[in-house]
Amino acid sequence: MGVISKLIPLLAKRKAKTIAEILNNPIELTRTKLMLILDRHSQTRFGKDNNYANIRNYEQFSETVPLHDYYTMKPYWEQIHANPELPIITSDPVIWYVQSSGSTGRPKALPLSKAGLNDYTGGSMLFLMSFINAKEGNNRVFDGTMLTFAAPAKMGEINGIPLGYMTGISREMIANALLKKLIKPGEEIFNMTEMGAKLWAYAKYAVTENITSLGGITTLIFAFIRRMQSEYGPSLLEEFKGTNHEARIREALSDDGKLDLNVLWPNLIMVGATGVDADPFKPWLKRTLPKATLWDNYAGSEGLYGTTLLDNTDNGIQLLPHINYFEFIPESEIEKHDPTVIPLSEVKKGHRYEMVLTNLMGYTRYRIGDVMTFKDTDPYSVHRIGRKGKSVNLTGEKLSDAHVTEGMAYATKVTGAEIIDYNVYGTIGEGQANYVIAAMFNNNIDSIEFARAFDECVGRTNGEFKYVQEFGSLGPTIVKKMENSYTESIIERTHIQAKLDPLTAEVVEGSA
């Protein structure tokens, strides 16, 4: 056992007190954080415009400060781009710009302050510490290489301030030198933006290492696992022929050219997922990496919102109220001009809400565009995270990405299917509409049985979906085999940090 794997559990035990406080006192923590934010930013231009100095409690805050989004904040951000040293939305100067993933349109350059980044990196530490505390022996993750899938920290600059992706920026700003050394493989690969070349570089690096975890950009992790499992084996054998890695690759390579990753990386015990509802992929991941635990994280360009803090990963993602003040808009109110907004203390288990965020990064009553379901309120845990307004409506059913991910997760569970990649889209033929599941499977499945399970689950959560199917205007869902990864095509035509797209109004090419 290495020195790091001996020292980290001691740190994890200290962090366990912070985790317990988050789980036991979320409302007090989030309200305290709000008042700290208002006090710190009261003399900023935004703080003065919104009368921060005279706000005394969270009720007054919600009555005084209007809701904001990218468009209402854009004038402030333009001022920051011109004068990053001035206290526009934060009391401390902007040190970086975050390139957003662009999931709601064109990527945006969002300002990042040092205080905001400190909250982000401090919260990120809990992700790793909770994993260490969850099970005896999890500290073995430090005995090998923790492979990190990250995007470039520096892609340019705005008026002298660097611009990059949050996965790269947070990596750059890690203060702990010991932890920073664990971030592998290094800048040469991190800074690559062409997907094929980047994943092949990761592959060549990974077969030479004792991989104990995969973490970072989840779309890249899943694409990497797919390619390692099904495509890269023969090429890697040729690449390392005659080296001391050849025997290891041969042992993991089957006659059909597939790599057994459990043989290749017998000590891999964690897959860290960020920003993706990974439930539909769990059967495939469990079969492919049986010793690995899927550990979820919830972050975005505007901050870190939640992470797995419990040892039971089926409980959803726990929110982080100590670094954010959370409010929520009930799903039925989202499209209203003046929606009802409730504090964290009033949300209900099983209900779906849009998140409204306030944090030290300068986002105040900010609608980040995410919608989620509360899996529990003790502790506050969320799942089925999707984008606001992301739905397809063929015959009045208003199918959302949350319906899709829940249906896919249920269908994989009851049929034993191992989903590698998928997308659901709608079609309208002669007299009838249908949804189509374009999917890549790792095993043979009964397509009709899978589609029937999907429809059964969606019908339970979406009454209109069930009604229009029974009425006949919406036909049964159809499963079609997808020859190439739809998610990888998104990354290739947009950018390296693109997210999964479980539901689209467009027909997926390559499905037959």
Do 166 and 278 lie in one domain? The reply is: yes
**pLDDT digit string (tens) for 185-210?**
988 999 998 999 999 999 999 999 99
Do 290 and 425 lie in one domain? The reply is: no
The answer to whether residue 160 is domain-embedded is yes
Which pairing describes strands 211-216 and 145-149: parallel, antiparallel, or unpaired? parallel
- Single out the residue in 258, 275, 297 at which a domain terminates: 297
Do 132 and 273 lie in one domain? The reply is: yes
- What is the pLDDT, as a whole number, of residue 250? 97
Do 289 and 404 lie in one domain? The reply is: no
CA distance 112 to 73: 14
Do 257 and 406 lie in one domain? The reply is: no
The answer to whether residue 145 is domain-embedded is yes
In the structure, what pLDDT confidence band is assigned to residue 2 with cuts at 50, 70 and 90? low
Measured in Å, how far apart are the chain's first and last C-alpha atoms?
Answer: 50
Considering only residues 493 and 256, tell me which one the structure prediction assigns the higher pLDDT. 256
The answer to whether residue 52 is domain-embedded is no
Highest mean pLDDT among 48-62, 133-147, 488-502: 48-62
Do 158 and 291 lie in one domain? The reply is: yes
Reduce the secondary structure of 151-190 to three states and give it as a string: CCCCCEEECCEEEECHHHHHHHCCCCHHHHCCCECCHHHH
State the amino acid at position 355 in one-letter form: M
- Single out the residue in 278, 297, 316 at which a domain terminates: 297
- What is the pLDDT, as a whole number, of residue 170? 83
Which pairing describes strands 380-387 and 317-319: parallel, antiparallel, or unpaired? antiparallel
Q: Domain residues for 201? A: 117-297
Reduce the secondary structure of 280-337 to three states and give it as a string: HHHHHHHHHCCCCEEEEEEEECCEEEEECCCCCHHHCEEECCCCCEEEEEEHHHCCCC
The answer to whether residue 410 is domain-embedded is yes
The answer to whether residue 313 is domain-embedded is no
- Single out the residue in 297, 332, 363 at which a domain terminates: 297
pLDDT of 381 higher than 80: yes
CA distance 500 to 278: 10
Cα 251 to Cα 225, 237, 257, 346: the distances in Å are: 18, 10, 12, 55
pLDDT of 235 higher than 80: yes
pLDDT of 231 higher than 90: yes
pLDDT of 177 higher than 70: no
- What is the pLDDT, as a whole number, of residue 79? 94
Asked which of 8-12, 19-23, 249-253, 467-471 is least confident by mean pLDDT, the reply is: 8-12
Give the three-class secondary structure for 254: coil
What one-character DSSP code corresponds to residue 109?
E
**pLDDT digit string (tens) for 336-370?**
999 999 999 999 999 999 999 999 999 999 999 99
Asked which of 33-37, 105-109, 344-348 is least confident by mean pLDDT, the reply is: 105-109
Tell me the angle at which helices 486-493 and 218-230 cross, rounded to the nearest 10 degrees.
Answer: 120
Do 432 and 292 lie in one domain? The reply is: no
Considering only residues 390 and 76, tell me which one the structure prediction assigns the higher pLDDT. 76
**pLDDT digit string (tens) for 286-318?**
999 999 999 999 998 899 999 999 987 788 999
Number of domains in the chain: 2
Asked which of 247-251, 305-309, 411-415, 429-433 is least confident by mean pLDDT, the reply is: 429-433
Beta strands in 460-504 (DSSP E): 478-481, 503-504
Give Rg (Cα) of the chain: 23
Share the mean pLDDT of the chain.
91
Place of tokens 């899927």: 294
CA distance 409 to 281: 8
**pLDDT digit string (tens) for 391-403?**
888 988 989 988 9
DSSP 87-104: -SSSSSPEEEEEE---TT
